[in-house]
Each structure stands twice: as structure tokens, then as C-alpha cells.
Amino acid sequence: MRYQKPKGTADILPGTVEKWQYIEEAARRIFKTYDCHETRTPIFEHYEVISRSVGGTTDIVSKEMYDFKDKGDRHVTLRPEGTAPVVRAFVENKLFGPEFQKPYKTYYMGPMFRYERPQAGRFRQFHQIGVEVFGSSNPATDVETIMMAMSFYKDLGIKHLRLVINSLGSKEDRQTYRQALIDYLEPHFEELSEDSKKRLHDNPLRVLDSKDRKDKVIVENAPSILDYLSDESAAFFKQVTDMLEALEVPYEIDHRMVRGLDYYNHTIFEIMSDAPGFGGAITTICAGGRYDGLVEELGGPATPGFGFALGAERTLITLEAEGIEVPVEDKVDAYVVALGEKTNSEALKLVQAIRQSGFIAERDFMNRKVKAQFKSANKLNATVALTIGENELAEGKVNMKHMATGQEVSVALTDIYSDFTKVYEELLASIN
């Protein structure tokens, strides 16, 4: 019997995993400059943590959850996103306490699970890198946090970025707008798609981001949420756009962008890629916004919040679409060519000594002919090859060869064991 991985999942193998590590390291490096530290939450959570935060009428909760009853009859779910778990951890660990710096900034990276129809850039287990910031109502936090995502992409060399923003206003603004939207959509009820018919009363804002072509035409003339913002909310949004301008960051406002998750208010944003490699298609690679009520919703004190999540898979696809090569270092420092079975144990001692000095070492394990072993050394891009045969073993030395130039030296085993770094660097220094 041969098994296959579950649909919508991927094995990330050596050769590819280096690209993952590269973007993860970029994120860690960038986020550190914002004094933002990592949180790791469990892969599964109580179902209610997600359903309460994300909202029962969202696609995530209504159709995409990997939820199940565990053996103790607890309703749990694999996490479909990172914000709800981090907010849960923020409340549970009382990170709102005065001993913690405010705003409290944290990031996460790891797998998320959604039961979706797998297609290009859409998986059932996928990976997000996200940031959450708690405790600041300053619009500078919105802009700073958006910049964390933008700087991450810039650091990777991604250029074709579009930053799209909108404001959902306060809870009250949204309530007024909701009614205005229902009033506008109701006369068109019969023309709406089945999904939008269902959403009209549950979650009318979602009709705005319907992908259905007829819905799109109807929505074209829908009232704009920006006309329903209170003076305060409008002033807040103006500060956000002013600060983006102060930083000379181009942005677009899309008053129809609403985001799928229920917990947002005020500023929301998406970063899209229109890289030529996507062939005219525009892909959302990052999304986020302000969620001022969420900490309270999960039992904490009233605390403003702002965050985003970006897809790791979509970052890799974007790199490819922009033709950016991820530098993958694929070399070993030393290859030990061991000739004759008697050298087996000494070859083991050699690679271990080299590794203890912090170098990458590999050796032959199959007692192959000298030619085959040197072929391996070349294939592995070895800088030096150390040859030990039965004669060398008896004399207590090895032949060390610089692969690129062919320059060779004879080195005492004792010198290697006492200081491989010195031996290695002396050979490299003698070249050129």
C-alpha cells in the first residue's frame, strides 16, 4: 500500500525548504527592527475561540473549519487563522498588564488549516506570517504595522505591490451603513447570486466582495461606507492616509473592500501583487486591519488591536512571478574520501572533528572507489577533500585538496584534531 498526502497539503522538501527559511528569516529580521517578538500558540484551539472572534457567518467558520470532538468530547478545531489564537493568548496570559510595554507587539508564523477547494495559491494546510499589535488607538500604529508587511516584501525584492486600504468606521458607523446597504440591495434581491441572497441579512457587507459577475454589477452603485463614517472615524482615516503620504507610500482606497472576517473596524488593508508573472491576474498576498473590540470579545479588558496575516505560499509564488531567485547555499566545506574498510572509523572521527569546528562535512559511507568519491565531493560543491587511505592512516596524516584549484597539502591527523579551522584557513590562504 502506498499513501498520498491529504488533498490540499504539501511536503516541503530539502531544496525547497531553504526558500521557506529564507522568507521566514527575512520576516524575523524585519519584525525585530520594530521590537516585535514571536508568539507560538497551539495548532488547535477550542472551537468557540475561533467562532466568536472570526464570526459565525464568515466562510471560515461556516464552511472551512477542521473541527472535531476529541476523546474527551471537547469541541476543538485546527486553527484557521492566527489572530484569534493570539488574542486568546493575550487575554489568558494577562499580557494587558502594566508590566508589559504598550503597545504589545507580537508576530507568529506557522500552519493554518481551512477546508477549501484546493487550487493555485489555495491550500488546506497553508502557512501564514502575521503580526498583532495590542493597546494603541494611534493611527500611527495602523501605518507602522502596514509598513511591517510592506518592508518584508521590499526586503525580499518584491516590487509590484499595490496597497489598498479602506475604513469600516466604528461599530456604530458600520451598523448605519449596514442598513443603508440592505436598503440598496433589497430591490435587487431576485438578481443576486444564491450566496449573496443568503448574506443579504446575515452579513450584507460580504455581498460587496462577491466574485459573482452579476453581483458585481449591482454592487457597482452601492452606497460607499466612506460616506457613512462619523466625523471622528473620517478624521481617523484621514490621519492614516496623511501618514502614508508622509512616508511617501503609494496607496489606493477601495470603498468596496470589506474583508471576510467579522472582527475588523476602522482601517483595513490588503496588499496585492500585480507581478507580470501572474499574467494580468491580481493576487491578494496580505490582509489585515484594526480590530478594537476583539480582546473584549474574548474576555479581556477593552484593548484596541491592529494586525495582518500574509500567506507564505503566496509570497513564494510572488517571488517566482517577479523572477526573483532565492539564494540557496548548497555546498559542503569538507568531503572526506575514505579508501579501504580500515579507514571507516577514522573517517567518522574526521567528519565529527570538522563539524565540531563548525564546518559542514560529509563523507563516503559505501566504501566506493576513489573516483566515485571525488565525484560526490564535486557534486556537493566541497571546498576541500580530505583523502585518507590505509597508508595515510598508518602514517597519521591525510591529503587535503582544494577542489577548485587542485592545490594539495599533506596534513597530520593530530593537527586536524587539535585545530581544523587553522588547517583549513591556512590552505585557503595559500591560494592566490
- Which residue numbers belong to the known binding site for L-histidine? 81-83, 114, 128, 132, 259, 263-264
In whole angstroms, the minimum distance from the beta carbon of 121 to ligand ATP comes to 6
Query: Is 416 a binder of ligand ATP (CB under 6 A)?
Result: no
In whole angstroms, the minimum distance from the beta carbon of 195 to ligand ATP comes to 13
Burial class, 222, CB count within 10 angstroms (exposed 0-12 / middle 13-18 / buried 19+): middle
271 or 411: whose CB is closer to ligand ATP? 271
Query: Is 284 a binder of ligand ATP (CB under 6 A)?
Result: yes
Backbone angles phi, psi at 133, to 5 degrees: -125, 125
In whole angstroms, the minimum distance from the beta carbon of 78 to ligand ATP comes to 13
Distance (Å, whole) CA 103 – CA 36: 10
Task: Out of 79, 114, 266, 397, name the contact with ligand ATP by CB under 6 A.
Answer: 114
Which long-range contacts (C-beta less than 8 Å, at least 24 apart) are formed by 362-371? 362/332, 362/334, 362/335, 362/336, 363/335, 363/336, 363/337, 363/338, 364/336, 364/337, 364/338, 367/338, 367/340, 367/341, 370/337, 370/339
Q: Looking at 119-127, 157-165, 230-238, 374-382, which segment touches ligand ATP (CB under 6 A)?
A: 119-127
In whole angstroms, the minimum distance from the beta carbon of 257 to ligand ATP comes to 10
Q: For residue 48, give the C-alpha cell.
A: 468557540
241 or 284: whose CB is closer to ligand ATP? 284
Give the total residue count for the chain: 432
| Contact code string over 290-319 relative to ligand ATP, x by CB under 6 A | -------------------xxx-xx-----
428 Cβ neighbours under 8 A, 6+ residues apart: 383, 402
Backbone angles phi, psi at 316, to 5 degrees: -65, -40
211 or 371: whose CB is closer to ligand ATP? 211
Distance (Å, whole) CA 175 – CA 102: 30
19 or 188: whose CB is closer to ligand ATP? 19
Q: How many CA atoms lie within 13 A of 95 on its CB side?
A: 22
Query: Is 256 a binder of ligand ATP (CB under 6 A)?
Result: no
- How many chain residues touch ligand ATP (CB under 6 A)? 18
Residue facing ligand ATP at closest CB distance: 311
Question: Which of 107, 62, 299, 296 is CA-nearest to residue 199?
Answer: 62
Query: Is 263 a binder of ligand ATP (CB under 6 A)?
Result: no
Task: Out of 31, 104, 126, 134, name the contact with ligand ATP by CB under 6 A.
Answer: 126
Q: How many CA atoms lie within 13 A of 50 on its CB side?
A: 27
Query: Is 285 a binder of ligand ATP (CB under 6 A)?
Result: yes
> Per-residue DSSP letters for 259-296?
-S-TT-EEEEEEEEE--GGGTT--EEEEEEEE-TTHHH
In whole angstroms, the minimum distance from the beta carbon of 84 to ligand ATP comes to 11
The 3-state DSSP class for residue 330 equals coil
Query: Is 122 a binder of ligand ATP (CB under 6 A)?
Result: yes
Q: Looking at 118-126, 296-304, 364-372, 408-416, which segment touches ligand ATP (CB under 6 A)?
A: 118-126
Task: Out of 31, 90, 107, 123, name the contact with ligand ATP by CB under 6 A.
Answer: 123
Q: Enumerate the known binding-site residues.
A: 81-83, 114, 128, 132, 259, 263-264
138 or 284: whose CB is closer to ligand ATP? 284
Task: Out of 192, 218, 286, 347, name the contact with ligand ATP by CB under 6 A.
Answer: 286
287 or 332: whose CB is closer to ligand ATP? 287
Q: Taking every pair of C-alpha atoms in the chain, what is the biggest distance, in angstroms? A: 95
286 or 380: whose CB is closer to ligand ATP? 286
In whole angstroms, the minimum distance from the beta carbon of 128 to ligand ATP comes to 5
> Per-residue DSSP letters for 1-18?
----PPTT-----TTTHH
> What's CA 406's distance to the chain center, in Å?
43
Query: Is 81 a binder of ligand ATP (CB under 6 A)?
Result: yes
Burial class, 62, CB count within 10 angstroms (exposed 0-12 / middle 13-18 / buried 19+): middle
In whole angstroms, the minimum distance from the beta carbon of 180 to ligand ATP comes to 24
Task: Out of 128, 166, 196, 383, name the contact with ligand ATP by CB under 6 A.
Answer: 128
Distance (Å, whole) CA 281 – CA 284: 10
Query: Is 260 a binder of ligand ATP (CB under 6 A)?
Result: yes
90 or 269: whose CB is closer to ligand ATP? 269
The 3-state DSSP class for residue 211 equals coil
Query: Is 287 a binder of ligand ATP (CB under 6 A)?
Result: yes
Catalog residues that contact ligand ATP under the rule CB under 6 A. Answer: 81, 114, 116, 121-123, 126, 128, 260, 284-287, 309-311, 313-314
